[in-house]
Amino acid sequence: MDLILEYQAQLLSGTWVTIQLALISLVFAVMFGLLGAWAKLSKNFLAQKTAVAYTTIVRGVPDLVLILLVFYGGQQMINSFGAMTGLWGYVEISQFAAGAGTIGVVFGGYMTETFRGAILAIPRGQIEAGIACGMNRLTIFRRVIWPQMVRYALPGFSNNWLVQIKSTALVSVIGLQDVVYNGFVAGRSTRQLFTFMFAVLMIYLVLTAISDLGLRWLDRRYSKGIVRSDNG
């Protein structure tokens, strides 16, 4: 315990990196999810097929493989493209950018399915009613689709988020100094790896417990005025 207090600065800074990584990749994931859901539901053949390919690949390949591919391969690709066209010199992708970008894109694939299901769950008649009232597409999205989509999507969203926050641990493999990396370094130098890995485990447990509480609050908020069958 004393040792952990001695290294608390490293653990805390690592935790902060993990939180930032998780939140930024969540923003990416929601954006890609909305885009993917729109593409899957659109009548445009190309958009639909692209979205299907995207979700299939991203949900079929393990996230660590994609993170490594983007971090090492993406860097090489950008640089050889730059060298070929002469547009830019040597570029380095940071571990943070590679991690946040890849995790965002991967979980965007899962969010796509969640959002698609949620939009489909909204009765068609309500959208038609919106059109009949003279709303334009943006107003319909804001006032009819969004509030209900959030409610239908929340259970899936919560699930995805809890998996995503745990996936951020993988970024320590490419050397980002997140909580796992810092905990590992501290544990190795003190030869107390169990103590430190257990501390990291507890930090993640706190993060997932807090998110769980927050998501439950959101769920209550967006389900106001809805009578649930309690199945009892």
Partner 1 sequence: MGESIIAFLDAWSPLDIVLIAQNFDRFLWGALVTLQLTVISLVVGGLMSIPLAIIRSGNNPFLNAPVWAFTYLFRGTPLLVQTYLIYYGLGQFEWIRQTVVWDPILSQAWWCALIAFSLNTAAYTTELLRGAIETTHKGEVEAAKACGLGKWMRLRRIILPSAFRRALPAYSNEVIFMLHGSVVASTITIQDLLGVGRWLNGRYYLAYEGFITAAVMYLIIVLLVSRGFRLWESHWLKHLYPRDAVAVEPKKGAASIRI
Sole window of 36-44, 47-55, 205-213, 216-224 interacting with partner 1 (rule: CB under 8 A): 205-213
Q: Provide CB contacts within 8 A for 38, sequence distance 6+.
A: 47
24 binds partner 1 (CB under 8 A): no
Q: Which of 33, 55, 63, 118 binds partner 1 (CB under 8 A)?
A: 63
Q: Find where tokens 């100094």 sit.
A: 177
**How far is it, in rounded angstroms, from Cα 121 to Cα 114?**
11
10 binds partner 1 (CB under 8 A): no
Q: Given the complex with partner 1, which of 48 and 208 has the nearer CB atom? A: 208
- H helices present in the chain, as ranges: 2-6, 8-41, 45-60, 63-68, 75-85, 95-121, 124-132, 137-140, 146-167, 179-190, 193-222
How far CA 42 is from CA of 34, 58, 164, 199, in Å, comes to 12, 20, 27, 47
Q: Which of 23, 83, 121, 209 binds partner 1 (CB under 8 A)?
A: 209
Sole window of 31-39, 46-54, 142-150, 181-189 interacting with partner 1 (rule: CB under 8 A): 181-189
Binding site for partner 1 (CB under 8 A): 56-57, 59-66, 68-69, 72-73, 75-77, 162-163, 166-170, 172-173, 180, 184, 187-188, 191-195, 197-198, 200-201, 204-205, 208-209
